[in-house]
Structure 1
Amino acid sequence: MIVEVTRDVLAQLHEEARRAAPEECCGLLLGHGGTITQARPAANIATDRRIHFEIDPVALLAAHKAERAGGPRLIGYYHSHPVGPCVPSATDQEHSTGDSRIWAIIAQSEVAFWHDKANGFEALPCRVVEPNVAQGVPEN
C-alpha cells in the first residue's frame, strides 16, 4: 500500500504543526479513493496538549456525516510530535484501534504515514501528487 497525498496537504500539515507548537496539532485526513486531498484541522481537546492529542469528537462526527452525504471520505487522522520523531509513540500505540485508517505524524521537518492495522502500526511509503491529478483532472 502506498499513500498518495497532495503537495498542498503536506504543506498544510507542516504549517499546522508549526502554528500549534509547543502543543500537538491534530485533525482529519480526507480524500477520494486512496488519495489524501484535504487536511481538516480539529481542536485538540486533550488535557495536556503538549504531549497528547484528542480530536474533537464534533469534528469527527461532522466528517462521518459529510462522507455519508457524498462528501470526501475520512481516510485517517494526523497529529504532530513537537518533540521527538515522527513515529507512533507509546501513547499512539495504546490508542491504535486497528481500523485500517492512515495516521500522519508530523515531527520537525518530516511527515510520516502509518497504517493502523490490527497488530499495530505499519509504516507506509508516500507518493506526492499534484492536486489536479488527485482529483482526476488531466494535467495540461
Structure 2
Amino acid sequence: MTRTLSISRDGYETMLERAHEGAPREVCGVLGGRRTAASVLVESAVPVPNVADEPRARYELDPERQLAAIESLEERGEEVVGFYHSHPDGPAGPSATDRAQATWPDAHYVIVSLPEESVGAWLWTGERFLERPVEID
C-alpha cells in the first residue's frame, strides 16, 4: 500500500513562502508530524538555514539548527517524518545531487518547485526514491 503524504496548509505555506523568500538560493528544513497506517501527516515545516557551499545548486542543513529543530518537534510530540528543500529554477523532483546526498531511510523528502509552484514528495528507502502522492489539507 502506498502511503499518501498529507501536508497541513500551514506547513505547505511555510515551505512555499520560504522558497520564494530564499530564491535564487535553495532553502531547506525539517518536517514534523506523525505516521498512520494510511498516510504520513506533516504538521510542521521548520526552516533550517542552508549552509551549502553552493546554495543556488544544493542544500545542506545547518547541523546545530537541524538538531534544535528536531528537539523542538519532539518536545511538541511530533516525530521527524522528513525534510524539505526548494528548487528555485527546477522541477519538484529529486536531482542527481539529491539522490547522492539522501541519508535518512524511511524519511520523506519534499521538494518545492518555484517554476511549477508545486511540491513533490519522495520516500527514501536507503537505496532509491519512491514517489508518493501529496495532499494539502
Question: TM-score, length-normalised on structure 2?
Answer: 0.86
Q: Does 1:81 find its partner at 2:83?
A: no
1:1-140 to structure 2, matched below 5 A, reads 1-33=3-35, 34-66=40-72, 69=75, 71-97=77-103, 99-108=105-114, 109-129=117-137
Q: Over alpha carbons, which structure has the higher Rg? A: 1
Aligned pairs, number: 129
Q: Which runs of 5+ in 1 are unaligned?
A: 130-140
In 2, the alpha carbon distance for the partners of 1:19 and 1:65 equals: 25
Amino acid at match of 1:126: V
In 1, the alpha carbon distance for the partners of 2:136 and 2:76 equals: 25
Cα distance, 1:10 vs structure 2? 1.1
The RMSD of aligned alpha carbons is 1.6
1:95-138 Cα shifts (integer Å, max 9, x gaps): 12251100110012011011011221111001222xxxxxxxxx
In 1, the alpha carbon distance for the partners of 2:14 and 2:70 equals: 22
In 1, the alpha carbon distance for the partners of 2:76 and 2:23 equals: 34
In 2, the alpha carbon distance for the partners of 1:105 and 1:41 equals: 13
Cα distance, 1:43 vs structure 2? 0.5
In 2, the alpha carbon distance for the partners of 1:98 and 1:58 equals: 17
Percent identical among aligned pairs is 33
Q: Is the 8 A contact 2:30 2:70 kept in 1?
A: no
